[in-house]
Amino acid sequence: MDKCEIFNYGTVSMHHSESEKPSPSSFEKHCHTTYEVLFVLEGVGHYMYEGERYDITSGTVALVLPCKFHYAEPSVNHAYNRYVLNFSGDDIPSEIAEYLEKYGSAVIRVDGERRRRIEEIFGRLENLCDIETGLRSAMARVLIGELLITAINNQPPVDSHGDSALGAMVIKYVNERITSRIMLDEIARHFFVSKSYLCRAFKEYNKISVFGYINNKKVVLARQMIEEGASASFAAYSVGFADYSTFYRAYKRVFGTAPTSRGDAETEGNVLLENTSEEILDN
């Protein structure tokens, strides 16, 4: 990565990164409990979102809902310049949050005046350090609302492709059952394939193992519940862990802290799905 500027305004964080020759290993396969907006100023490639693959071009905007698996796959032969903005549900008006839930996660393409306005908003977010410290978080929230309305107002999402691939279909199947105990044998039987073929096809398509995806998705969902005030034990059983000790080990391995309070959950960062243990899913 040739350049990366990081900006933090309370619970709002943003980075502006440029890579002349982007390296695939530097783009994390991850999910988190915050909302995310990716805005591509320059670049081509693909964007993976819960098993769906989208084309990336200049002017792409990706809207990511909390607890959704995603990552970018920019072409190594083209420069890649982008903003990534993360914020919590408390940082946007309830009306916008409700609309986003109905609108759903989406990838859209903007150009002309709409693109100019979005670039201007990101530029204003970069320059918030020029205003009084106590007002930065409040101003960031105002700009996020303006950004979301500008991006999605009367703007249809672009179509994805590849959702008929086994790796994509397994993600959909798993997400419909994510709060249950999910057995690898059960998934393989449903798709009439062997366990070894299932695991190989899933990882080839999604760049993450079935084990890693399921276990970490459960942990992130539990973390979201803890952030909203649930006890750690209630969250553990609600997302389908068979016992608390297994959940405790998984949570601590992922976040580096025990799942004991809302404060603990709020201090940690993204879940890097490809770097976590695969030993918890039932075989």
Condensed to tens digits (0 to 9), the pLDDT of residues 93-140 reads 988 888 888 877 789 999 999 999 999 999 999 999 888 888 999 999
- Nearest residue to 58 via CA among 73, 77, 45, 72: 45
CATH 2.60.120.280 domain extents, the chain = 3-152
- As annotated, the residues of the chain forming the CATH 1.10.10.60 domain(s) are 166-275
pLDDT at 270 over 80: no
pLDDT for 278 beyond 50? no
pTM of the model: 0.85
User: What percent of the chain shows pLDDT beyond 70?
Assistant: 90
Q: Are strands 45-49 and 35-42 parallel, antiparallel or unpaired?
A: unpaired
Tell how strand 3-9 and strand 52-56 pair up: unpaired
Length of the chain: 283
pLDDT in tens, 47-73: 999 999 999 999 999 999 999 999 999
**Cβ within 8 Å of residue 25, ≥6 positions away:** none
CATH superfamily of 166-275: Homeodomain-like (1.10.10.60)
pLDDT on residue 157:
79
Confidence check: pLDDT of 25 > 50: yes
By the 8 A CB rule, do 174 and 182 touch?
A: yes
Give the fold, CATH level 3, of 3-152.
Jelly Rolls (2.60.120)
Helices (H) and strands (E) in the chain, counts: 10, 11
Looking at residues 153-171, what average pLDDT do you find? 81
Distance CA 194, CA 188 (A): 6
